[in-house]
Amino acid sequence: MINVTRSARTFAVATLVASLSGCGIGKDSTGVSVQSLLPRIASTPDVLTDISAQQRSHLQLIATNLVATLVQIPEMRPAAATLQISAPTTSFGHALIRAMEDAGFGLQLVSADQGINYVSYSKRVSETESGPVTDYMLAVGKIDLSREYIVENNSVFPSSLMKINGTDSIADIDLADNIFAEQGGDNTAFISGAQRTGLANPNLDIKTVDVNDFDELPQDKRTRQDLVFAEAKQRYFESDAQQTAPDLTRYRKHRRTVLIFDDNATQMMGPANKQAVRLLIREFSDDDIMIIKGCQDADGSDRPSMLRAIRVEEELVGHGIPTGSAYIAPCARTSYRHTSDDSPTPVELIHYTPK
């Protein structure tokens, strides 16, 4: 019989952890883990262990940039769109599909290019006078996005505008380009802006983003991918609420319910709230509208409440309510809440019918 001392066992565990980290399973200060890019629906982990943690970090940034743009296109709202995908076989495919999962898209695994929202993607490397440039493309049905990226000093940055084709709705898209600045840089600069492919746009909003060494953040302090998507969806819903608010004088209040979330940080609706939504929409007709009042705060601005309102709108769309029939009311100032009150704000859901 062989006795193993506690110190020997501790050494063995430490050696195993170190070995796994060396194989790319763990996360280090200059990259992301394999698990961060593994899709839940289908994956081939060996594809990701064959590249470095830093390369995985670059792919995650690029995938986040593309998908955060996609969720702001009205036809591609995650709660309303189910995407068809084939099992990924490349590292870029893994990063993209995981990003789509984290953005909230419903994914359907298919064996070929089946479905109206079939996802395709590509990566093409070209040699230019500025060095190697890689063009990444993401297409969902008729909509496609593409952008060139370049690696400088072990960091990846956009080197072109985001090109968008297949939709007219690009005016209000806000690219998640701040995530690239968090890598830091030596007086680096990159171009930021979105353009419809092949069309002149005199109102094109283009800016240059300067990146310095003091912009660099440690890997674990950089903006998480799920927060990038939450902010992108918030911008979309806030813009939608401001531009397409209905004239309530043409409607009458039919029914109202109040949804209560467990705490101020959660976006989980829970079974009771889901049941309340199902009961409310049973009498919904094509000409009706739903108003979501979720932001009521002493200073007139409450991001967690707005995110809960967005979550409720996604639930409505998931039940078949047309995307043009659900509206988030602008954030309203209230006098009964103290500025120190961080308790969860109820979300009021009101069903209106035409007069």
Q: Which tens digit of pLDDT belongs to each residue from 24-35? A: 344 444 678 999
Vertex 334 angle, CA 329 and 337, to 5°: 125
pLDDT of residue 333: 64
> Which letter, b or e, does each residue of 231-244 get, where b requires 16 or more Cβ atoms within 10 Å of its Cβ?
bbbbbbbbebbeee
pLDDT of residue 28: 43
Instruction: Tell me: do 191 and 157 sit in the same domain.
Output: yes
Residue 323 has pLDDT above 90, yes or no: no
Coil, helix or strand at residue 60: helix
Is there a contact between 249 and 345 (Cβ–Cβ < 8 Å)? no
pLDDT of residue 15: 39
pLDDT of residue 21: 39
Contacts of 58 (CB under 8 A, 6+ apart): 149, 151, 155, 156
Q: Is residue 291 part of a domain?
A: yes
pLDDT of residue 35: 92
Q: Is residue 3 part of a domain?
A: no
Residue 86 has pLDDT above 90, yes or no: yes
Instruction: Tell me: do 253 and 229 sit in the same domain.
Output: no
Residue 13 has pLDDT above 70, yes or no: no
Instruction: Tell me: do 51 and 137 sit in the same domain.
Output: yes
- 146: part of which helix (H) or strand (E)? strand 143-152
Overall average pLDDT of the 220-243 stretch: 77
Overall average pLDDT of the 134-155 stretch: 93
Global pTM value: 0.72
Instruction: Tell me: do 182 and 257 sit in the same domain.
Output: no
Instruction: Tell me: do 276 and 192 sit in the same domain.
Output: no
* Higher pLDDT among residues 27 and 163, named by residue: 163
Domain end residue (candidates: 180, 213, 237): 237
Overall average pLDDT of the 230-238 stretch: 74
Domain containing 303 — which CATH number? Answer: 3.30.1330.60
Q: Is residue 12 part of a domain?
A: no
Q: Is residue 10 part of a domain?
A: no
Instruction: Tell me: do 158 and 293 sit in the same domain.
Output: no
Overall average pLDDT of the 93-111 stretch: 93
Selection from 353, 118, 342, 80 nearest residue 236 by Cα: 80
Q: Is residue 17 part of a domain?
A: no
Instruction: Tell me: do 263 and 218 sit in the same domain.
Output: no
Instruction: Tell me: do 79 and 160 sit in the same domain.
Output: yes
315-319, Cβ contacts within 8 angstroms, sequence gap of 24 or more: 315/79, 315/269, 315/274, 315/277, 316/277, 316/281, 316/290, 316/292, 317/77, 317/79, 317/80, 318/79, 318/80, 319/277, 319/278, 319/281
Instruction: Tell me: do 213 and 313 sit in the same domain.
Output: no
Could you write out the DSSP letters of every residue in 314-353?
HHHHHTT--GGGEEEPPPEE-SSS-TT--SPPPEEEEEEE
How many domains does the structure of the chain reveal?
2
* Higher pLDDT among residues 352 and 7, named by residue: 352
pLDDT of residue 131: 74
Vertex 147 angle, CA 143 and 149, to 5°: 155
pLDDT per position as a tens digit, 50-68: 999 999 999 999 999 999 9
pLDDT of residue 36: 92
Q: Is residue 2 part of a domain?
A: no
Report the percentage of the chain scoring pLDDT > 90.
36
Q: Is residue 211 part of a domain?
A: yes
Domain end residue (candidates: 237, 271, 299): 237
pLDDT of residue 40: 92
Instruction: Tell me: do 116 and 229 sit in the same domain.
Output: yes
Residue 3 has pLDDT above 50, yes or no: no
Instruction: Tell me: do 71 and 176 sit in the same domain.
Output: yes
Q: Is residue 337 part of a domain?
A: yes
Average pLDDT of the chain, as a whole number: 81
C-alpha span between 260 and 274 (Å, rounded): 11
pLDDT of residue 200: 55
Domain end residue (candidates: 202, 237, 272): 237
Domain coverage including residue 55: 26-237
Instruction: Tell me: do 269 and 148 sit in the same domain.
Output: no
Residue 199 has pLDDT above 80, yes or no: no
pLDDT per position as a tens digit, 327-346: 888 777 655 555 555 566 68
